[in-house]
């Protein structure tokens, strides 16, 4: 979205830069009003900041590919070799990556004497799944049978004398493609990412000689390890054993090399921020005078009703708000993350990894360990995020309305009293904010983090441009990176950065010095490398790709065409998303329409559009567009773009300035070891 020419001129003036009339240049062609050249120490500091930013960018790009150490837990059964006690064993991925079953012919003969003659089974022996999705080994009539993969793999008489059977299996771990038939418009899937007939193999041998080699898509499922034998005589104790290698590849920890890379990235980011702050401290304005180090903009007076009212309502709502439909879902996944060591979909999709969107769940899991799992304590993070978002939006309103002191006259009784329009705007902001936040964000979903980061990014962009602060511009990119990795809809955090480009470009531009400009761009933009840091400090790109393959083997990915259906749902009688949630979305759409009308009217009348209004309105429009590229649940989809909507509607009441936006069960015996992978 490109602002009209008048808007660009206004944004340039806001950033402290104006075009120079050629008549005001001296004979050498230089602008006499331009600031003097930067001193050598300042140029050196800018170079160091650019170099540190480059190091941060390189480290961030390498981080997803750095090796991590994954666990390879194994399950050994039975615990007591003389007592093969049936054990429930629910695997998160349902099936192992490898299995090794050993039993002697004497054990098979003993099983024949106890109905139903089960030597070992990976499912309930009486269930139909025992020989289809699971595996069952039985002995009867001096014969041994092995059923698995929905077929009879072995049926032969037991040899006379001692012997040993062994069933081994291995799997590449690829998911099976079980999606429903595709629509004609759906893209063709990449079948190389899914299990084929050679993904797994089951081999049955006797005394070291292979009897059966059965290729398959998957190894048998494991729900239990069951046997008809309550105990084994001393002579055959230990002759029945099962060992499984569990699919737990999403549980990982950084290797020393990855830890070093992460540390270098953190140091580079901190160094860049400190160096940019040093440049800001020595910044000069266009007359060569030092820019004040502090910028004080008065906060709204305490007498404003919105000051105590909004926090009071948020605190009250923390105790009385009804539970949302996702509270238990997300809280359980966070709680499981602290137990298993990885953040995944605990309820479905074979525990699909949530990399790169994991840090919010890890933070919630830490909070649960601290305060417990009761509903109200788990809402405290949402309360804090709500208060911070409210303060950020108010700060944006203060900055946007600070220059002019406008008041409106309102009749009261027998006279007229003056009511500051800014105070009225803050009251509107408070009402709209509560109408938006209360139905949407008083739970444990990560969207509250996205909302706070979106509002804070927009505020940082405005402050950076008005005060010409490179460090604040870096902070805007860093805040966007934090929100980007909080949830898939954090993609909307690109909106305030893109909308703020007309404000940020004059900040980093050094006239006549392309290299200096490039170094500033690199240094300021390196703040966004916070996103890879949070996303892959404890995971790898392979986790994300494998998680996507698991998801796409079951369901198709939504695309931008589904966004039309979501807009239709806003007024449909469907159970997903009550009308309290939809009202904020609809109100923001109306505000966005009036923003478009104001832009057109301003262009026709050649009136400059104030920078805060342009930044907020265009951020909202771009956030709506970004939502079409992000998958999310219908019940909460609209809230992600409306994160800045309250500020837009309060600014629109002034008519010229604003802000906007839409929005395991434990195995019997476990032991593990770490292996490095890329």
CA-to-CA distance for 346 and 388, rounded, in angstroms?
Answer: 30
More confident residue, 97 or 283: 97
- What pLDDT, on the 0 to 100 scale, is given for residue 30? 45
Tell me: do 220 and 282 sit in the same domain: no
Q: Of the given ranges (54-58, 208-212, 346-350, 366-370), which has the lowest mean pLDDT? A: 346-350
- Domain match, 280 and 410 both: yes
> Count of alpha carbons within 13 Å of 651, Cβ hemisphere only?
36
Q: What is the token pair recorded at 273?
A: 């921020």
**Distances from the Cα of 595 to the Cαs of 14, 513, 655, in angstroms?**
20, 37, 9
Statement: residue 39 has pLDDT above 60: no
Does the pLDDT of residue 99 top 80, yes or no?
A: yes
Looking at the fold, whether 315 and 380 belong to one and the same domain comes out as: yes
In the numeric block, the tokens 């001096």 are attached to 142
Q: Is 214 exposed, middle or buried (0-12, 13-18, 19+ CB in 10 A)?
A: middle
605, exposed or middle or buried, with CB in 10 Å at 0-12, 13-18, 19+? exposed
6: buried, middle or exposed (CB in 10 Å: 19+, 13-18, 0-12)?
middle
Q: How far apart are CA 314 and CA 448, in angstroms?
A: 13
| pLDDT tens for each residue of 616-672 | 999 999 998 888 877 655 445 544 455 455 545 444 433 333 222 222 233 232 333
Q: What pLDDT, on the 0 to 100 scale, is given for residue 304?
A: 55
Cβ distance 107 to 276 under 8 Å? no
Quickly state the pLDDT bin for 558 (edges 50, 70, 90).
confident
Report the distance separating Cα 99 and Cα 609, nearest Å: 68
Beta-carbon contacts of 197 under 8 Å, excluding residues fewer than 6 positions away, are: 215, 216, 217
pLDDT the model gives residue 572: 80
| pLDDT score at 535 | 95
Confidence check: pLDDT of 206 > 70: yes
Look at residues 408, 364, 398, 357 and name the one whose alpha carbon lies nearest to residue 384.
364
216 Cβ contact list (under 8 Å, min separation 6): 149, 197, 199, 200, 201, 202
Question: Does any domain span residue 271?
Answer: yes
Nearest residue to 380 via CA among 423, 441, 290: 441
Same domain, yes or no: 371 and 450: yes
Rounded to whole angstroms, what are the CA distances from 553 to 133, 346, 350, 352, 636?
Answer: 18, 17, 11, 11, 24
Burial of 341: CB neighbours in 10 Å, binned 0-12, 13-18, 19+: middle
CA distance 398 to 334: 37
Q: In 306-326, which positions are buried (b, 16+ CB within 10 angstroms) versus exposed (e)?
A: bbeebbebbeebbeebeebbe
- Looking at the structure, do residues 240 and 328 belong to the same domain, yes or no? no
String of DSSP letters for 450-478:
HHHHHHHHHHHHHHHHHHT-HHHHHHHHH
Confidence of residue 182 (pLDDT cuts 50, 70, 90): confident
Residue 455: band (very low, low, confident or very high) from pLDDT cuts 50, 70, 90: very high
Mean pLDDT confidence for 551-578? 79
- The last residue of one of the domains, among 231, 247, 263, is 247
Spatial CB neighbours of 267, under 8 Å, sequence gap ≥ 6: none
Instruction: Give pLDDT tens digits for 339-386.
Output: 888 899 888 888 889 999 999 999 999 999 999 999 999 999 999 999
Please name which of 84, 144, 85 lies closest in space to residue 112, comparing C-alpha atoms. Answer: 144
Same domain, 97 and 55: no
| H or E element, residue 237 | none
Same domain as 268, residue 233: no
Sheet with 68-71, side-by-side order of all strands? 252-254, 68-71, 674-677
Q: Over the chain, what is the mean pLDDT? A: 81
DSSP state of 48: H
- Provide DSSP, 583-626: HHHHHHHHHHHHHHHHHHHHHHTT-PPPHHHHHHHHHHHHHHHH
Spatial neighbors of 172 by CB under 8 A, at least 6 apart, are 195, 199, 200
Confidence band for 25, pLDDT divided at 50, 70 and 90: very low
Number of domain units in the chain: 2
Rounded distance, CA 543 to CA 358, Å?
A: 12
Does residue 79 share a domain with residue 54? no
Q: Which range marks the domain in which residue 230 is found?
A: 72-178+188-247
Q: What are the tokens at 270?
A: 């901190």
Cα–Cα distance, 210 to 213 (Å, whole number): 7
Cβ neighbours of residue 9 closer than 8 Å, sequence gap 6 or more:
608
Specify whether the CB–CB gap between 408 and 424 falls below 8 A.
yes
pLDDT for 622: 93
Please tell me the predicted confidence (pLDDT) of residue 499: 95
The residue-averaged pLDDT of 57-76 equals 93
450, part of any domain: yes
Q: What is the mean pLDDT of residues 199-222?
A: 94
262-276, 453-467, 559-573: the lowest-pLDDT one: 559-573
- Percent of the chain past pLDDT 90, that is, above it, reads 52
Determine the Cα–Cα distance for residues 606 and 454; give it in Å rounded to an integer: 31
CA dihedral 414, 420, 426, 431 (to 10 degrees): 10
Q: Say how far apart CA 218 and CA 643 lie, in whole Å.
A: 45
Of the candidate ranges 7-16, 302-311, 495-504, the one whose mean pLDDT is the lowest = 7-16
Residue 387 CA to residue 392 CA, distance in Å, equals 9
Q: In terms of domains, do 366 and 266 share one? A: yes
Domain match, 609 and 470 both: yes
Asked whether residue 30 is domain-assigned, the answer is no
Does residue 614 fall inside a structural domain? Answer: yes
322: pLDDT strictly greater than 70 = yes
For residues 202 and 345, membership in a common domain is answered with no
**Confidence band, pLDDT 50/70/90 cuts, at residue 249:** confident
Render pLDDT for 5-23 as a digit per residue (tens, 0 to 9): 444 444 444 443 433 344 4
In a domain, 669, yes or no: no
On whether both 573 and 620 belong to a single domain, the answer is yes
CATH number at residue 199: 2.60.120.610
What is the model's pTM? Answer: 0.81
Q: Is the per-residue pLDDT at 152 higher than 90?
A: yes
> Quick check: is 401 in a domain?
yes
């Amino acid at each position: 979205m490109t602002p009209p020419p008048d808007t660009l001129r206004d944004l340039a003036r806001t950033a402290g830069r104006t075009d120079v009339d050629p008549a005001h240049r001296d004979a050498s062609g230089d602008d006499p009003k331009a600031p003097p050249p930067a001193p050598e120490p300042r140029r050196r500091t800018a170079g160091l900041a650019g170099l540190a930013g480059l190091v941060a960018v390189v480290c961030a790009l390498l981080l997803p590919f750095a090796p991590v150490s994954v666990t390879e837990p194994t399950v050994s059964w039975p615990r007591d070799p003389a007592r093969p006690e049936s054990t429930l064993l629910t695997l998160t991925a349902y099936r192992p990556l490898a299995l090794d079953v050993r039993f002697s012919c004497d054990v098979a003969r003993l099983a024949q004497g106890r109905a139903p003659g089960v030597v070992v089974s990976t499912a309930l022996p009486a269930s139909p799944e025992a020989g289809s999705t699971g595996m069952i080994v039985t002995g009867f009539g001096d014969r041994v049978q092995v059923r698995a993969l929905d077929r009879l793999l072995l049926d032969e008489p037991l040899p006379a004398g001692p012997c040993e059977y062994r069933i081994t299996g291995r799997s590449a771990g690829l998911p099976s493609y079980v999606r429903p038939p595709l629509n004609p418009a759906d893209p063709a899937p990449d079948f190389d990412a899914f299990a084929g007939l050679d993904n797994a193999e089951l081999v049955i041998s006797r005394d070291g000689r292979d009897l059966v080699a059965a290729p398959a898509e998957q190894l048998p499922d494991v729900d239990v390890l069951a046997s008809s034998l309550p105990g084994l005589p001393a002579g055959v104790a230990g002759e029945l054993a099962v060992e499984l290698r569990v699919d737990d590849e999403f549980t990982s920890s950084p290797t020393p090399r990855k830890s070093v890379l992460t540390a270098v990235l953190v140091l580079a980011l901190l160094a860049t921020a400190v160096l940019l702050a040093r440049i800001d401290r020595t910044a000069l304005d266009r007359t060569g005078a030092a820019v004040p180090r502090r910028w004080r903009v008065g906060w709204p007076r305490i007498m404003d009703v919105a000051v105590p009212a909004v926090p009071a309502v948020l605190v009250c709502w923390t105790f009385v708000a009804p539970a949302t439909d996702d509270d238990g879902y997300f809280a359980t996944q966070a709680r499981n993350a602290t137990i298993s060591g990885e953040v995944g979909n605990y309820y479905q999709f074979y525990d699909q990894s949530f990399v790169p969107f994991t840090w919010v769940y890890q933070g919630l899991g830490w909070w649960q360990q601290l305060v417990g799992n009761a509903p109200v304590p788990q809402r405290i993070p949402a309360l804090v995020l709500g208060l911070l978002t409210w303060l950020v939006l108010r700060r944006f309103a203060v900055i946007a309305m600070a220059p002019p002191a406008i008041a409106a006259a309102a009749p009261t009784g027998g006279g007229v009293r003056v009511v500051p329009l800014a105070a009225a705007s803050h009251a509107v902001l408070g009402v709209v904010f509560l109408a938006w936040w209360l139905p949407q964000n008083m739970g444990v979903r990560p969207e509250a983090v996205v909302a706070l980061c979106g509002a804070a990014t927009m505020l940082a962009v405005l402050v950076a441009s008005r005060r010409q602060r490179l460090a604040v511009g870096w902070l805007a990119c860093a805040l966007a990176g934090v929100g980007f990795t909080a949830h898939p809809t954090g993609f909307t955090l690109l909106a305030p950065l893109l909308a703020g480009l007309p404000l940020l470009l004059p900040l980093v531009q050094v006239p006549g010095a392309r290299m200096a400009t490039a170094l500033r761009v690199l240094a300021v933009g390196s703040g966004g490398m916070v996103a890879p840091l949070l996303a892959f400090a404890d995971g790898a790109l392979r986790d994300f790709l494998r998680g996507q393959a698991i998801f796409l083997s079951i369901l198709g990915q939504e695309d931008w065409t589904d966004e039309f259906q979501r807009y239709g749902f806003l007024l449909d009688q469907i159970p997903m998303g009550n009308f309290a949630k939809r009202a904020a979305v609809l109100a923001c759409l109306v505000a966005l329409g009036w923003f478009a009308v104001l832009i057109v009217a301003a262009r026709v009348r050649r009136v400059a559009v104030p920078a805060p209004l342009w930044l907020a309105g265009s951020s909202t429009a771009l956030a709506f567009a970004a939502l079409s590229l992000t998958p999310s649940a219908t019940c909460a989809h609209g809230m992600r773009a409306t994160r800045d909507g309250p500020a837009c509607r309060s600014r629109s009441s002034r008519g010229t300035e604003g802000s906007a936006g839409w929005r395991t069960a434990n195995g019997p015996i476990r032991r593990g070891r770490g292996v490095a992978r890329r």
